[in-house]
Amino acid sequence: MRFSCHQKALLSSINIVQKAVSSKTTLPILKGIYIEALDNYLKLVATDLEIGIEHIVEAKTHNKGSVVVDARLFSEIIRKLPDAEVEISLEENNQIYIKCENSEFNIVSYNSQDFPELPTIEEDYSYEISQDLFKNMIRQTVFATSQDESRPVLTGALVEIENDTLNMVALDGYRLALKKGKIQSHIDNKVIIPAKTLSEINRIISDNEEQLTITLTNNHALFVIGNTKMISRLLEGEFINYKQILPKEYKSKVKVKTRNLLDSIERASLVAREGKNNLVKFTISDDKMTITSNSELGKVHEQIYIDFEGEEVEIAFNSKYLIDVLKIMEDEEVYLEFTTNLSPGILKPVSNDNYIYLILPVRLSSN
């Protein structure tokens, strides 16, 4: 195997696939990047057996072939090389020879035969969605997935395609985030994608309107973005019937400036976090909302002007769950909807119906 490739192009390719390299693994070869020199391009692959990423980059191939190099060492070498053409060849005893201007490296490599192949996905039927929309869907839901490995389905997000709409849903038993997006589709579908996969996809895709192609099989999801392919295992099991949880009506409705609400809750949570559940209390009546919290550290009293209709309400929440969602809201104003102080509260953007966030209240000791 012998090829040459420009340092910057090779580095950017390494940076993409490296996200799938296993950080802790009992299989040493998974710490590697598989590099195959084909006619006029290289194929780089990395996988931790959950996620696999493949990237294609232009190169001048003199002899075809493949190797597996240690991801960390190889990426550091390429990163430190000058902005010039890099020649790489496989020599005797599995040695890789790397040359760039006046620098020469000889490093050991793994046998490429031992590298696991990525699963083959039939791309019979695929969905297309713009990258910025998909990025936004991930950003607004994935934080609400559960960290608790004892309920595996909740460590992923439901991706549900029905009637030309893609619903992405995450929930952890305390809150639920639902984001809807338009998608062209003739086939409905429903899978659970691990949160880690979505976070990695989020790092790879751009904030523009170029299309991302998604293929879903029974066990895998395949994402294709330009020269990059990412394959992920799906989570097995039945997702919670989330539609049942969403309240159909409300008794009180508040319109409030997102920024003011976030600032007030963040201040209130400064003393709240000493307690166990970051408890902050909301008292809503007329045109104002009072947010209070207290602990051994002290107490806080915040007041915000609001638009309000319906019944007065006094309700308490874990401030973390509100701060999480208010930080990712793009709208200047949000609606809050309440029924009783024991039933879930709802947060929605004012400008559209594409996002719903549900949060369970904390029972006040006086109830």
| Interface positions with a copy of itself (CB under 8 A) | 70, 73, 76-77, 80-82, 95-96, 102-108, 263-264, 266-267, 270-271, 296-304
Is the Cβ of residue 196 or residue 267 nearer to a copy of itself in the bound state?
267
Is the Cβ of residue 267 or residue 320 nearer to a copy of itself in the bound state?
267
Distance of closest approach, residue 263 Cβ to a copy of itself, in angstroms: 7
Distance of closest approach, residue 99 Cβ to a copy of itself, in angstroms: 9
Distance of closest approach, residue 293 Cβ to a copy of itself, in angstroms: 10
Distance of closest approach, residue 84 Cβ to a copy of itself, in angstroms: 12
Residue 133 CB: number of other CB atoms within 10 A? 17
Is the Cβ of residue 216 or residue 272 nearer to a copy of itself in the bound state?
272
Cα–Cα distance measured from residue 198 to residue 178, given in angstroms and rounded to the nearest whole number:
15
The answer to whether the beta carbons of residues 33 and 42 sit under 8 Å apart is: no
The partner residues of 360 in beta bridges, in order of sequence, read none
Distance of closest approach, residue 313 Cβ to a copy of itself, in angstroms: 20
Is the Cβ of residue 111 or residue 120 nearer to a copy of itself in the bound state?
111
Distance of closest approach, residue 100 Cβ to a copy of itself, in angstroms: 9
Q: Residue 298 is which amino acid?
A: G
Residues in the chain: 367
Distance of closest approach, residue 299 Cβ to a copy of itself, in angstroms: 5
Is the Cβ of residue 197 or residue 264 nearer to a copy of itself in the bound state?
264
